[in-house]
Amino acid sequence: MKEMKLLQPHMMGDLELPNRVVMAPMTRNRAINDQNAATALHAEYYTQRATAGLIITEGSQVSKKAVGYINTAGIYSQEQIDGWKKVTQSVHDAGGCIFIQLWHVGRISHPDFHNGDLPLAPSAINPNAQAYTDDGFVDTVTPKAMTLEEIKITINDFKQAAKNAVEAGFDGVEIHSSNGYLFHQFFNKTSNTREDQYGGSRENRARFFFEVLDAIKQVIPQNRIGARFNPSLHGIFGTTLDEETIPTFDYIIERLDKEYDLAYIHLSEPFNDVSDVPHAIQNIAKRYRPKYSGTLMINSNFNKEKAEKVLADGDADLVSFGKLYVSNPDLVGRFREDVDTTDWNEDTFYTSGEKGYIDYEAKTRKLIPNE
C-alpha cells in the first residue's frame, strides 16, 4: 500500500520534516505564575506531541503590551526564555522540531491587562469582541491608536522576541499575522482608518508586517520564519471582510513569494460559513497555491481524509491540526496505524492544570519522529 502523503517527509527550508502533520498553534492558559513563563507542564504537553513533523506553540506575547488573555506564556523576559528552554530541550530530546508563535493581540485585549491603559491598535475602533481576563470573557473597549513611536517600539519588541526565541532553543518562529490580532487589524480597512504611511493603500496597510519581518530576519534566517494568515476571516474576533480584504492578502502573499524565502506561509480556510459574504474566498488553499511557490501550510477543521486530499491535490505541502492535537498526542501514530481519534473537551481548553492538557491518552506505539 502506498504511504499516505501525510506521512511523507518534506523539506522546509533547511529542515527536513519527517512527516507533513503539523501541530497548529492554539491559545492555552497554563502559564500560571507571576512571570507568565512556560513550566514543566508545557514541556510535558509539547513533548507528548513531538512525533508531529513540526510543532508550532501557542501564541507567545512579545511584550506586556501584547497581552490579551490570562496565563499565556510570554517570550520577552529572561524568566520566560528559561521556561521555554525546558520545553525546547525536552522536545528536541524526543526528536521533535518546534517553532514559537510570536503574538500581539492589539485591540483584542482589555485595560485590566495594562494597568488601566487602553490596548493598542492601528485605529481607535472597538472590535466589539471579548477579551479573556481574570473575570472571564469581558467586552472589549475602544483601543488607543498607535503613534509612530509605538509602532517603532512594537517592531523592536518582535525583533527582540525572535532573538529570545533563538536563545530559548526554538528551531524557528511564526509571526501571528492572523485571526483578527494586531497585524490583521492593520491589514483590514474596517479596523485601520489611518491616514499616514500605515493606512490607506494595500502597501501601507501591509507595511507594519513587512517592517516586522525585515527586523526579525536580522536575527534569525528567513528560512526559519513562518507567517500565518486568515484571508477570509469574517464576523469573528471583530474582523469584517470587505472588497479590499482579499486583494490585500493577494498583495502580501505574492510579495512574500517574490521577495522572501520563508520557512512557510500558514493559511486558514474560513472559520465559518462565508458563502453569502461578498468578496470572501471559500477555498483558500486553491487560491494561494498558484500564488506561492514555497512551503504552503493549510489549517482549519481538517481530518485525516480531508488533509490527505489537499496534499494529494497539490494545494498544500503541510496540514496543521489544532483541536485534534489537543486530544490526540499521538496523532501521527493514529494516522499511520488507522486508529480512531479521541474527541476533545472544549470545557478544558482555557482552564488551568493537567486536565484537558496532558491527560489525553496515547493509543498507538511510541514513535520517534524519524522512525
Determine the 3-state secondary structure of 262 from DSSP. Answer: coil
The DSSP result for 181-224, as a single string, is: SHHHHHH-TTT----STTSSSHHHHHHHHHHHHHHHTTTS-GGG
Residue type, 211: E
Q: What's the CA gap between 336 and 7, in Å, rounded? A: 7
Give the three-class secondary structure for 331: helix
> Which class for 368: exposed (0-12), middle (13-18), buried (19 or more C-beta within 10 A)?
exposed
Q: How far apart are CA 51 and CA 321, in angstroms?
A: 13
Return all residues near 216 (Cβ < 8 A) that are at least 6 apart.
Answer: 102, 158, 159, 162, 173, 175, 225
Please tell me the distance from the alpha carbon of residue 184 to that of residue 230, in angstroms, as a whole number. 8
Run of H or E residues at 16: strand 15-17
- For 161, half-sphere exposure in the C-beta direction (CA atoms, 13 angstrom radius) is 30
Q: Are 300 and 18 in contact (CB under 8 A)?
A: no
Would you say 265 and 256 are in contact if contact means Cβ atoms under 8 Å apart? yes
Task: Kindly list the catalytic residues.
Answer: 181
Q: How many residues does the chain have?
A: 371
User: Which are the contacts of 335, defined by CB distance < 8 A and separation ≥ 6?
Assistant: 4, 6, 7, 21, 304
